[in-house]
Structure 1
């Protein structure tokens, strides 16, 4: 729009000041268009974003689904007395969750 107006206003009968103003507007418009084009090249499509999101969600799901099995296996290795202590149970559950989160993070980092 600006470019169209400035081109129409670029009459040779205009003062040098006005001609320079018009040239400035045209250069600013061109610079903005180049910046917008560069920004558009950096954007991703919705399909690309959905694909990445699904892959990441699958990694998270895979590792978090292992938590219950890890907890059960660890609890089975405890003595009956240890199984009745809440602090041990909490520590085991926290360790299993942290292990799953570390594995998720490691796999996500490897993929990146």
Structure 2
């Protein structure tokens, strides 16, 4: 059966995104109240599919240095220096993506107001 998911152009994703690291059972409301610098950072997805500011912060959570990104029909992939995927973020809704780490923690990427 053919997939009905559409692959978005990279320009759709380019811009600032808020990345938030949280525990498995943290609710978004509880996470927002914590607002610790160590669990949030702004990540810049550049039009040329490189990561700009915030790449180091995201890399600390992924345990690899993220270099780039690309859209997937059902999400967004972060790539390492070899160009291979190091983390997949599944689409939850427009502007909100979620990744589960091996440690049990999760990272959400949410588009910031433009």
TM-score tier, shorter chain, comes to: under 0.3
TM-score, normalization by structure 2: 0.20
Structure with greater helix percent: 1
Q: Which has the higher contact order (CA 8 A, sep 6+)?
A: 2
TM-score, normalization by structure 1: 0.21
